[in-house]
């Protein structure tokens, strides 16, 4: 075979590695797959099947060094060699840095993963500050193979555009399917004729996504989140007006001497800001300057200064009105930004800052209102319709908007996506939905407070398991009651004791296997009090259930007396029947009455006076006896 033909895949791989736009990356990857005669439909999706073929066919030193990195990451035990989520189908909305990085995790877990992106270009020159663990994470995935300059020396930042290019390439190699120019509109619930979760996209008749069935849907679509069912809360700080601008980097000698400013605030360096004000009448609270593909500046400007310099035309108390397009003089904004850049870089008067072009072909300078930052009230929900569950979640700016000048966007974004991947894993393992949600929401409570200083510092040990990253993790910080509304199900589950399955009483439902989620119920009842093995089994069973309600039955002798433990057990199986939070420990009789009513009215259980008496009487004996008696009664009822 002629040498040029043998070399072709490696040459195409080189073209793919060096591609610098969304379109050329996708095209060069398609070319590569075509030359390697890879048919996605034939090899299947998920289980890293595409990646395995690529690693066997591409053997240049560059590809091998990349495989070595990805293989190492892929060995983490959570992934189970790419089979942990082999039956899971994920749809991610948005190919921003966080959506793409999550797609990589889904592929490593072995899921089929489709990403839809409404844009057709990666055009954001703006620069992200990277926390040290993000740098380690990206290096471990082979970022330097694609971008040799990545994190050289003290440089801890990268343009959003470049980061998207790197992550897109890694995602494609791992088998993620990415579709540009596709906008997610809304979900489509399963029906009898179309029994899976799907979504409406634009264009409506897309050959792949319009018929894609999935069971995990993640909103990674930035601050204007489009997934329904998630509420957002506003954090209103004092008025903060951010300006970002990018100038062409001509790499001249003078530019090479510009010193980066990794973040300077007026309270820490008043001299810098006083001089700036004296020389230019510009009043800033902070400024960051990074030298990248462009000269990138982000600064927070004082309103009065913007009014004085004619950038803002009229003062209004409302921030949105103040920064409305018709109240901002764009040419003055450009002058303002250039003057600040000139001062910050100490450039000579001969040096002219030339604006880079933005997505719309105009000068890349923008003014943002940081007065209101939004965060989602919850990070996840599980919806069940016609027997099909879907896990929905938010990541990145959709989940938690950060104040860019502090540089926490990517740092928190990556933490949040790892936590989401962990929830996907638990969901794929058929953990009970309430358990998945309790853990996800408990971990989410830690996110906004996380900093490089208060999280674990052995970055090489970081995985999707939150315990490897958060220092003080309590994955049961939320109670079931607090998150119960996040599980939206139209089914009424019943317990199939023979197989320990939860099945629906509805017809036309696929049984959902949840053996991991429920403590197995002992198959036979203890016949007498001497059967210690069976009693231990019962006690264990009770303990494990009530533990998730922060009830300790051994120490808390009142837990059965006031019926809380009993209610917890019922609630564990049927959270829809009992408002557990409303129960009061000091009102045992009323609690018992609620319990008996539920058993009789809702569960149609044979709860006669004899049974009631034996239950209440058992509450007066020793703790062990109470547990034993109660367990027997519960088992009788559940059978």
Query: Is residue 184 near ligand FAD by the rule CB under 6 A?
Result: yes
- The pattern of x and - marking residues 395 through 414 that bind ligand FAD according to CB under 6 A reads -xx------x--x-x---x-
Q: Any bridge partners for residue 199, and if so which?
A: 187
Two structure tokens written together for 607:
């709860």
Least distance from C-beta 343 to ligand FAD, angstroms?
Answer: 19
From candidates 60, 196, 222, 539, binder to ligand FAD by CB under 6 A: 222
Query: Is residue 97 near ligand FAD by the rule CB under 6 A?
Result: yes
Half-sphere exposure of 121 (CA within 13 A, CB side): 7
From candidates 128, 174, 503, 570, binder to ligand FAD by CB under 6 A: 128
- Closest CB to ligand FAD among residues 183, 210: 183
- Closest CB to ligand FAD among residues 143, 595: 143
Nearest to 181 by CA among 159, 201, 163: 201
Least distance from C-beta 432 to ligand FAD, angstroms?
Answer: 29
Judge if the upstream peptide bond of residue 226 is cis by omega within 30 degrees of 0. Answer: no
**Touching ligand FAD, residues 363-402 (CB under 6 A):** 396-397
Nearest to 52 by CA among 42, 67, 41, 62: 67
* Non-local CB neighbours of 140 within 8 Å, separated by 6+ positions: 69, 72, 73, 460
From candidates 28, 88, 126, 215, binder to ligand FAD by CB under 6 A: 126
Q: Any bridge partners for residue 112, and if so which?
A: 89
Two structure tokens written together for 60:
């240049």
- Closest CB to ligand FAD among residues 184, 197: 184
Distance from C-alpha of 620 to C-alpha of 561, rounded to nearest angstrom = 7
Distance from C-alpha of 228 to C-alpha of 210, rounded to nearest angstrom = 19
Least distance from C-beta 560 to ligand FAD, angstroms?
Answer: 48
Task: Tell me whether strands 232-236 and 372-376 are parallel, antiparallel or unpaired.
Answer: antiparallel
Least distance from C-beta 102 to ligand FAD, angstroms?
Answer: 9
Q: Indicate the angle between helix axes 564-573 and 532-547, nearest 10 degrees.
A: 80
- Closest CB to ligand FAD among residues 1, 204: 204
Q: How many residues bind ligand FAD (CB under 6 A)?
A: 30
- Closest CB to ligand FAD among residues 296, 541: 296
Least distance from C-beta 373 to ligand FAD, angstroms?
Answer: 11
Residues found in the chain? 639
From candidates 12, 17, 95, 103, binder to ligand FAD by CB under 6 A: 95
From candidates 21, 60, 226, 531, binder to ligand FAD by CB under 6 A: 226
* Non-local CB neighbours of 454 within 8 Å, separated by 6+ positions: 471
- The pattern of x and - marking residues 294 through 313 that bind ligand FAD according to CB under 6 A reads ----x---------------
Distance from C-alpha of 176 to C-alpha of 90, rounded to nearest angstrom = 10
Segments in 197-329 forming alpha helices (H): 253-257, 270-280, 303-308, 319-322
Query: Is residue 94 near ligand FAD by the rule CB under 6 A?
Result: yes
From candidates 25, 93, 486, 577, binder to ligand FAD by CB under 6 A: 93
Query: Is residue 98 near ligand FAD by the rule CB under 6 A?
Result: yes
The conformational region for residue 215 under phi > 0 = left, psi -120 to 50 = alpha, else beta, is: alpha
Query: Is residue 117 near ligand FAD by the rule CB under 6 A?
Result: yes
From candidates 118, 139, 303, 429, binder to ligand FAD by CB under 6 A: 118
- Closest CB to ligand FAD among residues 95, 306: 95
- Closest CB to ligand FAD among residues 177, 221: 221
- Closest CB to ligand FAD among residues 413, 466: 413
Query: Using alpha carbons only, how large is the chain's radius of gyration in Å?
Result: 29
Query: Is residue 517 near ligand FAD by the rule CB under 6 A?
Result: no
Least distance from C-beta 358 to ligand FAD, angstroms?
Answer: 9
Query: Is residue 96 near ligand FAD by the rule CB under 6 A?
Result: yes
Instruction: Report how far apart, in Å, the C-alpha atoms of 537 and of each of 303, 486, 614 are.
Output: 68, 32, 21
Query: Is residue 416 near ligand FAD by the rule CB under 6 A?
Result: no
Query: Is residue 420 near ligand FAD by the rule CB under 6 A?
Result: no
Query: Is residue 119 near ligand FAD by the rule CB under 6 A?
Result: yes
Nearest to 577 by CA among 587, 561, 566: 566
CB 453 within 8 A of CB 408: no
3-class secondary structure, 414: helix
**Touching ligand FAD, residues 573-612 (CB under 6 A):** none
The conformational region for residue 255 under phi > 0 = left, psi -120 to 50 = alpha, else beta, is: alpha
Query: Is residue 260 near ligand FAD by the rule CB under 6 A?
Result: no
Residues that bind ligand FAD (CB under 6 A): 93-99, 116-119, 124, 126, 128-129, 160, 183-184, 220-222, 226, 244, 298, 396-397, 404, 407, 409, 413
């Amino acid at each position: 075979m002629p040498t040029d033909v043998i070399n072709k895949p490696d040459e195409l791989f080189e073209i793919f590695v060096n591609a610098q736009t969304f379109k050329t990356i996708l095209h060069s990857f398609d070319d590569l797959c075509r030359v390697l005669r890879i048919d996605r439909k034939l090899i299947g999706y998920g289980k890293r099947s595409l990646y395995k073929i690529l690693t066997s066919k591409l053997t240049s030193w560059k590809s091998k060094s990349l495989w070595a990195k990805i293989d190492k990451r892929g060995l983490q035990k959570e992934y189970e060699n790419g089979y942990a989520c082999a039956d899971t189908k994920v749809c991610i909305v948005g190919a921003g840095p966080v959506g793409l990085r999550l797609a990589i995790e889904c592929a490593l877990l072995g899921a089929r993963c489709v990403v839809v992106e409404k844009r057709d270009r990666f055009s954001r020159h703006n620069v992200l500050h990277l926390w040290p663990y993000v740098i380690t994470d990206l290096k471990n995935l082979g970022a330097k193979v694609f971008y040799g300059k990545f994190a050289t020396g003290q440089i801890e930042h990268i343009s959003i555009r470049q980061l998207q290019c790197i992550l897109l390439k890694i995602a494609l190699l791992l088998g993620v399917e990415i579709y540009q120019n596709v906008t997610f509109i809304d979900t489509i619930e399963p029906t009898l004729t179309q029994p899976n979760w799907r979504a409406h996209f634009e264009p409506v008749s897309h050959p792949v996504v319009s018929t894609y069935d999935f069971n995990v849907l993640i909103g990674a679509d930035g601050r204007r989140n489009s997934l329904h069912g998630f509420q957002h809360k506003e954090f209103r700080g004092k008025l903060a007006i951010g300006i970002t601008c990018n100038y062409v980097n001509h790499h001249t000698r003078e530019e090479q001497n510009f010193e980066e400013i990794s973040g300077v605030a007026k309270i820490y360096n008043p001299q810098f800001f006083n001089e700036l004000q004296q020389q230019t009448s510009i009043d800033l609270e902070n400024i960051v300057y990074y030298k990248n593909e462009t000269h990138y500046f982000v600064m927070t400007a004082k309103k009065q200064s913007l009014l004085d310099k004619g950038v803002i035309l009229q003062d209004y108390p409302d921030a949105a009105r103040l920064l409305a397009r018709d109240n901002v003089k764009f040419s003055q904004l450009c002058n303002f930004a250039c003057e600040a850049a000139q001062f910050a870089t100490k450039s000579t008067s001969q040096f002219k800052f030339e604006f880079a072009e933005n997505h719309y072909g105009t000068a890349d300078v923008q003014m943002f209102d940081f007065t209101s930052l939004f965060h989602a009230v919850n990070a996840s929900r599980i919806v069940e319709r016609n027997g099909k569950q879907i896990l929905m979640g938010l990541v990145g700016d959709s989940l938690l908007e950060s104040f860019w000048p502090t540089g926490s966007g990517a740092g928190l974004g990556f933490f949040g996506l790892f936590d989401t991947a962990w929830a996907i894993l638990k969901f794929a393992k058929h953990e009970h939905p309430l358990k998945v949600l309790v853990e996800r929401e408990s971990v989410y409570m830690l996110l906004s407070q996380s900093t490089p200083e208060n999280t674990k510092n052995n970055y090489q040990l970081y995985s999707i398991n939150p315990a490897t990253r958060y220092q003080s993790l309590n994955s049961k910080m939320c109670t079931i009651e607090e998150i119960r509304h996040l599980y939206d199900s139209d089914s009424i589950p019943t317990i199939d004791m023979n197989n320990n399955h939860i099945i629906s009483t509805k017809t036309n439902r696929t049984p959902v296997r949840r053996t991991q989620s429920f403590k197995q119920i002992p198959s036979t009842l203890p016949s007498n009090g001497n059967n210690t093995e069976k009693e231990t089994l019962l006690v264990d069973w009770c303990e494990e259930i009530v533990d998730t309600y922060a009830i300790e039955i051994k120490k808390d002798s009142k837990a059965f007396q006031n019926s809380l433990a009993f209610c917890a057990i019922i609630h564990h199986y049927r959270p829809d029947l009992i408002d557990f939070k409303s129960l009061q420990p000091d009102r045992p009789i009323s609690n018992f009455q609620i319990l008996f009513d539920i058993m009789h009215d809702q569960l149609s259980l044979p709860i006669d006076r004899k049974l009631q008496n034996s239950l209440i009487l058992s509450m007066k004996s020793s703790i062990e006896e109470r547990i034993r008696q109660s367990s027997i009664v519960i088992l009788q009822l559940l059978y």
